[in-house]
């Protein structure tokens, strides 16, 4: 009897160790590359990204377009989940992935119409700024394409893939930040 209990205990411990190793591997799969060389199509010249002890990136690029491209790539690499949730919250699209609990907030955001404001703003940006926004957008989407199978754990848990990034999405988040900075409901 003691031998059977020992065998069952060993099997349970091995199963727990295997599950822990799998969870560790899944969680670390989506961590950003912080060293080495990455070949990213879409740049006109070499870009250097150096991270400090806390992982904060510093980007060196020969052109502003490459700088914005790299900023989009690195931001998506570090914060894609946050970016996607922010654009969904601003546009009133959280319920599509979270469910009924965010319908009231989505309704308020859709009435406010930040997506329409961002779309209208996109039509009025200068050609220079448009080039920078386009470069940033290409950088975010380059990360999405290169790491589609290594997206942050939240996407896997929620069982969805983020949509490609757009210039409107960047403007939408900017509009939401203005909304948040002007709304004192958090202090109440």
Task: Please count the other Cβ atoms lying within 10 Å of the Cβ belonging to residue 4.
Answer: 8
Percent of the chain, pLDDT > 70?
Answer: 94
Name the pTM for this structure.
0.81
Long-range contacts of 118-122 (CB under 8 A, 24+ apart): 118/168, 118/169, 118/171, 118/172, 118/174, 118/175, 119/168, 121/171, 121/175, 122/167, 122/168, 122/171
pLDDT tens by residue, 94-109: 999 999 999 999 999 9
Q: Collect the ranges in the chain with pLDDT lower than 50.
A: none
pLDDT tens by residue, 125-163: 999 999 999 999 999 999 999 888 888 888 888 888 999
- Residue pair 98/160 in contact (Cβ under 8 Å)? The answer is no
pLDDT at 184: 63
């Amino acid at each position: 009897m003691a031998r059977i209990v020992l065998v069952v205990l060993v099997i349970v411990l091995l199963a727990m160790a295997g599950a822990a190793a799998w969870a560790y591997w899944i969680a670390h799969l989506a961590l950003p590359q912080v060293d080495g060389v990455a070949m990213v199509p879409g740049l006109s010249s070499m870009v250097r990204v150096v991270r400090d002890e806390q992982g904060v990136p510093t980007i060196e690029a020969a052109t502003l377009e490459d700088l914005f491209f790299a900023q989009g790539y690195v931001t998506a690499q570090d914060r894609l989940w946050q970016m996607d949730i922010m654009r969904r919250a601003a546009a009133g699209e959280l319920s599509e992935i979270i469910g009924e609990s965010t319908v009231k907030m989505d309704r308020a955001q859709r009435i406010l119409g930040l997506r329409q404001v961002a779309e209208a703003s996109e039509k009025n940006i200068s050609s220079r700024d448009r080039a920078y926004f386009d470069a940033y957008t290409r950088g975010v989407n380059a990360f999405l394409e290169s790491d589609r199978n290594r997206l942050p754990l939240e996407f896997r848990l929620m069982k969805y893939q983020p949509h490609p990034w757009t210039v409107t999405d960047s403007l939408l988040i900017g509009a939401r930040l203005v909304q948040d900075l002007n709304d004192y409901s958090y202090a109440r």
